[in-house]
Structure 1
Amino acid sequence: MYVPAHFVPDDAAVAELLAGIGAVDLVTATEQGPVATLLPMLYDRPDGAPHGRLRGHLARNNDQWRRPVLGQALVIVRGPDAYVSPSWYATKAEHGRTVPTWNYVTAHLYGELVVHDDPAWVGALVRELTDRHESGRAHPWSVDDAPAAYIAGQLRAIVGVELVVTRIEAKFKLSQNRSDADMRGVVSGLHGDGAHTAAEAVRGVVRAGADD
């Protein structure tokens, strides 16, 4: 990934992004060509995995898990992203030398893909995923709310995958190459467009710079 110095996030920012991931893109190179699947995954850092791991599951009928991977697998994690209009920059009024761009937060995680065709492993993962996304709801759904035989059948229809991460590349492109006045204009403009999460990501960078 091309990452200019001013778009390099600190370790804490990357950790926060990975802790909050939802769905990601799993990309593998195979003899038949590249294959990609969008799937929810969990990231953690157990003992023996210094860069962490990602766990998820694929439909058994999705043959990505069957195809041998050439080299390493890649998982693409995305944070907020949004179009940035040059009309939001304070410098537009000063000299007009501004152009549109796109702000975004992303991380690329590379590593070995391990397949877990094991109902117990997959069942534990499904419970973790469910608890992660149901927690905080007034009436959270539990795997145990469904009939056991039905859940057993569903588990037979999926296969677990685990990316043992060996390398992480992250890029937080949040207008850090602009002046503070331009960045404040971007925050206001993004809020005006309804891109509130992207706006707050830029605001966080402005605050971090003010604290330095």
Structure 2
Amino acid sequence: MFFASAHAESDEEVLLQFIKENPLGMLITGIDSSAQDFLQCTHVPFVLDHPKTDENPSSNPQLRAHIAKQNPQAKAMLELTSGAPPSILPLERDVLVVFNGRHDHYVTPNFYTETKPDTGKVVPTWNYSAVQVYGKLSLFYDSRTPEAGAFLSKQMHDLSEQCERRIMGFTGGDRPQPWKVADAPERYIELMQRNVVGIKIEITKIEGKYKMSQEMRPGDRDGVVKGFAAMGGETGKAISALVQERGELIDKKKALKSSSIE
């Protein structure tokens, strides 16, 4: 991913919060396989564990997930376990996970109300936000072993809690009660666990960007803010607010840099 300085976000806490708010990631691997394509990608919801916590004593953030054993990506990973005793398998190559922001949209040059009437030197673009992480993946591939069984049980519980409470807003009280793994028959969950592999990724590198017209001239940026606001709808309002927010941040950085030089 290309990170122009105006778009790059380097604050790790901001990037981790982005993942928590947008947990559906694209897991990308490159694995030599006799039967599967080398490059594989799976959309999968992740649980994020902050470093140095009860869930994650490591100094690096971690991601947890599970995917079906019938998934070609899982099959390529499982091929590496051939002949090995049931255990946790660490992959040698790094994996990549990409998280996209909830709102993105085409930007028409008609929004550039300063430059378009002045010189006409404008072209369309696309506004979006994304975070990508690199890391080391460990595969929990046999739920009958104590370690893999415990990992999958906790991961399924935590993922359900995250989605039911944070995404659906099912918190009880005057809201619906959240669905729990324990609500399903125990034997059914055991069968489900046998047909998935658990994934844990220790993050070794994290990068993010908000490409939200913040590098544009003030008049053009204001035109983008007003243009998306006029569009209405959830996406229009959200992108208008993001362009405003990211524009103010870059203005503050420029002001601080200027004052430090003086």
Q: Can you list the C-alpha shifts for 1:135-160, whole angstroms capped at 9, x where unaligned?
A: 12221211122222222222222111
Q: 1:179 to 1:49 in 2, by over 3 A?
A: farther
The answer on whether the counterparts of 2:138 and 2:201 sit within 8 Å (CA) in structure 1 is yes
Stretches of structure 1 that go unaligned for 5 or more consecutive residues are none
- Structure with more of its chain in strand, by fraction: 1
Aligned with 2:25: secondary structure?
A: strand
- Cross-structure match for 1:58: 67
Distance (Å, rounded) in 2 between the aligned partners of 1:172 and 1:64:
33
Of 167, 177, 195, 1:157 maps to 195
Deviation at 1:70, TM superposition (A): 6.1
What are the residue-to-residue correspondences of 1:163-178 with 2, within 5 Å? 163-178=201-216
Distance (Å, rounded) in 2 between the aligned partners of 1:73 and 1:204:
32
- Cross-structure match for 1:38: 43
Deviation at 1:193, TM superposition (A): 6.1
- Cross-structure match for 2:153: 123
Aligned with 1:5: secondary structure?
A: coil
Q: Can you list the C-alpha shifts for 1:150-190, whole angstroms capped at 9, x where unaligned?
A: 22222222111011111112222111210233222222323
Aligned with 2:121: secondary structure?
A: coil
Amino acid at match of 1:15: L
What are the residue-to-residue correspondences of 1:45-84 with 2, within 5 Å? 45-47=50-52, 48-62=57-71, 63-68=75-80, 71-79=93-101, 80-84=103-107
Q: Can you list the C-alpha shifts for 1:103-155, whole angstroms capped at 9, x where unaligned?
A: 11112111111111222211111111111111122212111222222222222
Deviation at 1:200, TM superposition (A): 2.5
Deviation at 1:50, TM superposition (A): 3.4
Aligned with 1:122: secondary structure?
A: helix
Q: How many residues align?
A: 212
Distance (Å, rounded) in 1 between the aligned partners of 2:227 and 2:200:
40
2:228 aligned with 1:201, yes or no?
Answer: no
Consecutive aligned runs of 4 or more in structure 1 exceeding 4 Å deviation: 67-70, 209-212
Q: CA RMSD in A?
A: 2.0
Distance (Å, rounded) in 1 between the aligned partners of 2:44 and 2:59:
23
Distance (Å, rounded) in 2 between the aligned partners of 1:50 and 1:6:
29
Q: 1:153 to 1:81 in 2, by over 3 A?
A: same
Q: 1:75 to 1:155 in 2, by over 3 A?
A: same
- Cross-structure match for 2:224: 186
Stretches of structure 2 that go unaligned for 5 or more consecutive residues are 81-90, 142-147, 254-262
What TM-score does the superposition give when structure 2 sets the normalisation length? 0.74
Amino acid at match of 2:47: L
Deviation at 1:67, TM superposition (A): 4.7
Distance (Å, rounded) in 2 between the aligned partners of 1:41 and 1:111:
14
Q: 1:193 to 1:87 in 2, by over 3 A?
A: farther
2:137 aligned with 1:110, yes or no?
Answer: no
Of 145, 164, 167, 1:134 maps to 164
What TM-score does the superposition give when structure 1 sets the normalisation length? 0.90
